Chain A
Amino acid sequence: KAGVTQTPRYLIKTRGQQVTLSCSPISGHRSVSWYQQTPGQGLQFLFEYFSETQRNKGNFPGRFSGRQFSNSRSEMNVSTLELGDSALYLCASTEQGTEAFFGQGTRLTVV
């Protein structure tokens, strides 16, 4: 099976812009979670989607949003980018139970 695919791998955006990141989970996995990784805050949970519905949400402002499509692919969007949004964004997919498989991440740099 192919692994979790995140695109793009790298992004540079300007403050105030918006960005969309994409995640294709492992075939058959219906749960997709997103995490933000920064040197200061570490790994923080953003949200989780399951069967096109948001099932869990972390403590992030409303500028961070996501969605999931019928084929389980997921996108996350960040509007009105701030310098502090610079981070590695990781996507994880889960079939059932507990083992999460991570993609290689999208490194977002806001300038």
Chain B
Amino acid sequence: AQSVTQLDSQVPVFEEAPVELRCNYSSSVSVYLFWYVQYPNQGLQLLLKYLSGSTLVESINGFEAEFNKSQTSFHLRKPSVHISDTAEYFCAVIRRKAAGNKLTFGGGTRVLVKP
């Protein structure tokens, strides 16, 4: 079985400041990793994913995440946040080559960007 831990449940941050959201996972098999974002009263939107290749992945809106196999982590960063980044962020994993699409999510991190 897999498990995902997001170490911070809430992160307040000032506009234009950097932010880091921490994610650690546990799995006996190889996994794919994802970050999803959820805005109020909305579903989940994929922010970025790590499947293979370069361990640093980037999104189109300035977020990046780095896969660290030895530390089983997939932390999300943004060098300068905007008010519009206020949302809840979820880290998730899925078994590689699994028969099915069962995502295991972390508990989420609420980011509140203050002006």
Chain A interface (Cβ < 8 Å from any Cβ of B): 4, 6, 31, 33, 35, 42-43, 45, 48, 50, 55-56, 58, 90, 92, 94, 98-105, 107
Contact = CB atoms under 8 A, between A and B. Distances in A.
A101 B46 contact: yes
Interface residues of B, number: 23
Nearest to B106: A42
B22 to A, nearest CB: 16
Interface of B: 32, 34, 36, 41-46, 49, 51, 90, 94, 99-108
A55 B45 contact: no
A9 B43 CA distance: 11
17 contacts: A6-B43, A33-B101, A33-B103, A35-B103, A42-B108, A48-B101, A48-B102, A56-B102, A58-B102, A98-B32, A98-B49, A98-B51, A100-B101, A102-B36, A102-B43, A104-B43, A105-B43
Contacts of A4: 43
Contact of A45 (B41, B45, B90, B104): B104
A74 B17 CA distance: 43
The 10 closest A-B pairs by CB, nearest first: A102-B43, A43-B105, A102-B44, A56-B100, A94-B101, A104-B43, A55-B100, A56-B102, A42-B107, A98-B32
